[in-house]
Structure 1
Amino acid sequence: MAILVQFAIGLIFGLGLIVSGMSNPAKVLNFLDVAGIQAGTWDASLAFVMAGAVAVTFVGFSRVLKLPRPFFADRFYLPTRRDIDPRIVAGPAIFGIGWGLVGFCPGPALTALGFGSLSAVIFVVAMCAGMVLARFIAQLPSSTRYITPADPLET
């Protein structure tokens, strides 16, 4: 049953990305190009998409976290760390730079694969290579790496 619920939620999420235009890198880049505000070419529509997503997430989390436990798990896995380390700064910075350069982030890139987008294929291959590289770096002895790995369930 859990796999069916996960599939349905993923399908709804993917359809939302497609309908909102998030799977179109040109639309995303027009949103991120704030220099277009004065020229009148800035596309603010994704700001409304993000505001709607934040509102739905806020309502969803506030209700779900009142439950004694998740529907398909023994407990909630919530972050407990409050400190800011280099990983918490570098990760979002790399994510944002990549999104700004190519107009894709992981979810929209995966939906764009369904359209046969070559740029999405290139992005997803690079994304997977980055994931493999991150795992490799996390397994290096601590004296040869800068960032320490964390328990994924506790961060």
Structure 2
Amino acid sequence: MTSITSSPRLEKITPGNLESATGIRVRPDQEHAVTPVVESLAEAYVHPEGVAWPRLIMDGERPVGFLMAFLDIDWYGDGGSVRRSGLWRLNIDAREQGRGYGRFAVASVADEIRRRGGRELYVTWHPGPDGPEGFYLGLGFRTTGETSGDQTVGVLDLTTASL
């Protein structure tokens, strides 16, 4: 396993890096479990300002992944008081997996949620042997017992987590 080679950073998606963002490709065996970046960007475009937080993950001049957070959403969509923030999408390029970029992405979203006053980071994942459950549980997420569609819901307590 090769580790991160420099200081990774997040960049806003712009006309200048759009092609790099949409060029991120996960492994073929993961494609069923993740949404392509281009679809994520379309979703970000149609949601109200501030709900979707899409970012390109860069290591030096090399695009290595894409993340999109959701911030302070009405979780059940019923106008109720349950509001949550978390990691909506995570795509680490197939050539870059296993190098720490996923952990960097989760830590970056945690930092942004904390900056906005949040205390929990939510995520959903496809269950199964080829899914990312081990990755998220290894970072300290716990399952909530809920599902979102066919996905498991997990939460990380940001008051105690150290990523």
TM-score (norm 2): 0.28
Considering fraction of residues, name the structure with more strand. Answer: 2
Mark the structure with the bigger radius of gyration. 1
Structure (1 or 2) with the greater helix fraction: 1
TM-score by length of 1: 0.29
